[in-house]
Chains A and B, each alone.
Chain A
Amino acid sequence: MNLFKRRKNLGESRLTTLLWQFTGSAILNLVIFLLLAVYLSPLAYIVVNTVKTPKQLSDSSAPLYPAINPEYKYNGIDYPVLSVPTANGVKEWAIITKRRTYAEFIDPQNPSAGLIHWDGNWYGLKKVYRPSLSWEGFANLRDNLSYFYSRTLNTLMIALISEIGVLLSSIAVAYGFSRFRIPGGKWLFLLLISTILIPDIITLIPTYMTYLKLIKWLNTTSVPLPFSVPWGWVPLIAPYFFSSAAFVFLLRQNFKSIPRDLDEAAMLDGAGPLRILTSVILPQSIPVVATVALLHFFYIWNELRNASLYINLSPNARPPISFLSSVSDALGISPDAAAAVLLVSAVPVVVLFLFQRFFMQDMVVTGLEK
């Protein structure tokens, strides 16, 4: 007792502070954890839907968890099992005859008893649901795999080609803005930033009309190139070869934080501007370049608007140029398969996103120099 008291006296202030700190941290972490759970909870909806049967998805009285309504085969026809209140408690019977004032059931446990007459309106009765996972959606997806595969390939091709374009052009432009004294450079850069704010729809109409005219004029569904490129791809790829303002901004911020002394040292060694870019600037900017590349990939993978708009440009080439993003619309499949498609299409992005090191660190936009 004495010992305990002494120890308490000695460490009281430290102990209470520690205790307070611990409680504070615990509460903070708990609150954040709960918030995160709420934040991600809507995702459960799509995950659960992928393992539901199409029947359950279309039944508004079905439970939220994946379940099936058992059926009973009678004279070669499947009848749904309902829960029926009777004098002997609630029974699970299959409904055979539906009438306004009565219904006839059969007991799946005891079919030899024959039809059971039940008075009342069957309409208010609930279907019986038993928890069960259905893999129909994924099976549907597997059966349409060739369809899914060609779309994935198209999306990847578009992503790859435009990725090359957007990286080359944005790096060049960012380098130009960060390292050269261009007459009116500040104004040009402000102009670049302001283009971010021009909504797509402003330029859409003339751009769309131009592509229409070009196709009519060339009178062909694929671009006259040595290799076949459908027309619908051009509006989706070409703009990225002229750099992207947002990426230029991110890259330039980073290029400017690289000390100029390095350039000058390279310059004294006889390196030209291009050489400085490739051997001084870029090796130091791998994280931000990777960030930009990932952002662009996510963007193209999810892009839906332009893809759906320009698919119609070359109607003959429709099957090969549809994209993953529109897969759920175009597949015309059951809702459970659509859920599976959406979920599966999100997987590569999430995997890519979780297994990289750079993305999280390099979106720094402060005025303070590093």
Chain B
Amino acid sequence: MFEFFSRATAPPKPKIIHPNAGLRRREGIIGFLFISPWLLGYVLLKLIPILTALWYSLTNFKMLEPDNIQFIGLANYLYFLTDLTAWYSLAGSLGYFLTTVPVELLAALALAAVFTSARLRGKNILRPLIFMPSIFSIGLIMSVALGLINPQNGWLNLLIMQPLGLPPVAPGASSHYFLLALLSIWSIGPGFLIMVGAMQGIPKELHEAARVDGAGPLTRLLKITLPIISPAIFFSLVINLTSAFGGSMLLDRSYIFSESLSPMEAYIASTMFSNLNVGYASALTWVMFSVTMTITIIIFRTAQRWVYFPEDGGHESI
């Protein structure tokens, strides 16, 4: 994917009319055949549903009255502007994103940095143990987390708060944040592996050369390690971003919609399945879609500045 970005700075290639244009066309057709499952899935499972949601959002579609659908224009969106709950939910979802993503990224990065140290023993045992919580089901994690913060006999209260003389953890907001923390720390598996892989891929000579030139550990980290692994950081950012918005990639961290940790998602689900108001729920999904796409575009745009995309080595890019 990264060649895409490097193209922006590369000089335009001179146009060459290939003598074997027919062959190229054939290659293109075969390629299309191979990617056709995705193209078909994209149209059927993403494009059409998203556009259908846009249509629903402009109507007063109620699930109980499927025969009485009327076009009501932007009324759903206007209602959203005055719906405080929706705004709070949206802010909550953004807060969720801003809380979990940096925690996951930094924890994975720090662990990966320690892991590349030659002094650490037993890496073959440590690595699976660090990854292991990432393959636990969300049911298990929820049950553990809720048990830990139980106000009566939660372990957090009995083992940490009481002995230290701190006030007990009350249910509500603080427990929500505890769940977030546990989820994000117990989900660092893929990000951690990706970063370890990236750091191990850095040629040793680079570090040696920098050391000879008098660069300290911090300089080496900032000037060599981070730039080289920036694609891996970018990729884990994308993964974490996805899960923060309630998507799921590589890991399943999505609890049932009604109890989703992302408040906007829970609000949409309750509008849809409890109030059965399909039209307004669709409008809300479009609001959420615009927000996530805006964040995505910002991240992809800035990626050109901070992600290191090397020249395509040797083989031709598509």
Contacts and interface: CB of A to CB of B under 8 A. Distances in A.
Contacts of A350: 132, 135
Given A259-B315, A363-B193, A196 B128 contact: no
A240 to B, nearest CB: 9
Contacts of A194: 296
A129 B188 CA distance: 39
Interface in A296-320: 298-299, 301-305, 308-309
The interface size bin for chain A is 35 or more
Contact of B127 (A29, A243, A360): A360
Interface string B115-138: 001011110001111111101111
Contact of B255 (A260, A304, A353): A304
B242 interface: yes
Contact of B190 (A21, A200, A363): A363
A248 B34 CA distance: 12
A191 B247 contact: no
A203 B46 contact: yes
Contact of A172 (B2, B37, B56, B152): B37
Interface string A248-266: 1100000010011000000
B231 A360 contact: no
A326 to B, nearest CB: 8
The interface size bin for chain B is 35 or more
B237 to A, nearest CB: 11
A186 B137 contact: no
B28 A180 contact: yes
Contacts of B214: none
B318 A328 contact: no
A197 B2 contact: no
Nearest to A328: B139
Interface in A197-211: 197-210
A113 interface: no
Nearest to A298: B135
Interface in B46-101: 46, 48-50, 52-53, 56
Interface in A226-247: 239, 241-243, 245-246
Contacts of A198: 46, 50, 247, 289, 292
B64 to A, nearest CB: 12
B40 A196 contact: no
A299 B251 contact: yes
A135 interface: no
Given A305-B257, A325-B139, A342-B137, A189 B153 contact: no
Given A201-B269, A338-B143, A365-B197, A302 B34 contact: no
Given A64-B158, A367-B2, A39 B37 contact: no
Interface string A25-56: 10011001000100110110110010000000
A54 to B, nearest CB: 14
B56 A206 contact: yes
A339 interface: yes
Given A46-B144, A169-B38, A365 B194 contact: yes
A346 B137 contact: yes
B180 interface: no
Contacts of A199: 242, 245-247, 265, 288-289, 292
Interface in A342-370: 342-343, 345-346, 349-350, 353-354, 360-370
B201 interface: yes
B222 interface: no
Interface in B267-296: 268-269, 272, 278, 281-282, 285-286, 288-289, 292-293, 296
B140 interface: yes
A40 B265 CA distance: 29
Contacts of B42: 191-192, 195, 242
A189 B194 contact: no
A175 B45 CA distance: 21
A196 B119 CA distance: 37
B38 A243 contact: yes
A46 B133 CA distance: 13
A173 B44 CA distance: 16
A177 interface: yes
B249 interface: yes
A91 to B, nearest CB: 26
14 contacts: A36-B126, A43-B133, A45-B147, A64-B155, A176-B30, A181-B31, A186-B4, A186-B7, A190-B1, A200-B246, A201-B268, A249-B1, A328-B139, A369-B310
Given A298-B135, A304-B255, A369-B314, 15 more contacts: A21-B119, A28-B114, A62-B153, A172-B37, A173-B35, A176-B32, A181-B316, A197-B242, A197-B292, A198-B289, A201-B265, A205-B49, A301-B137, A339-B143, A353-B135
Interface of A: 21, 24-25, 28-29, 32, 36, 39-40, 42-43, 45-46, 49, 60-62, 64, 169, 172-173, 175-183, 185-186, 188-210, 239, 241-243, 245-246, 248-249, 256, 259-260, 273, 295, 298-299, 301-305, 308-309, 325-326, 328-329, 338-339, 342-343, 345-346, 349-350, 353-354, 360-370
Interface of B: 1-4, 7, 24, 27-28, 30-35, 37-42, 44-46, 48-50, 52-53, 56, 114, 117, 119-122, 126-133, 135-140, 143-145, 147-148, 152-153, 155, 158-159, 182, 185, 190, 193-194, 197-198, 201-203, 228-229, 231-232, 235, 238-239, 241-242, 245-252, 254-257, 265, 268-269, 272, 278, 281-282, 285-286, 288-289, 292-293, 296, 308-310, 313-316, 318
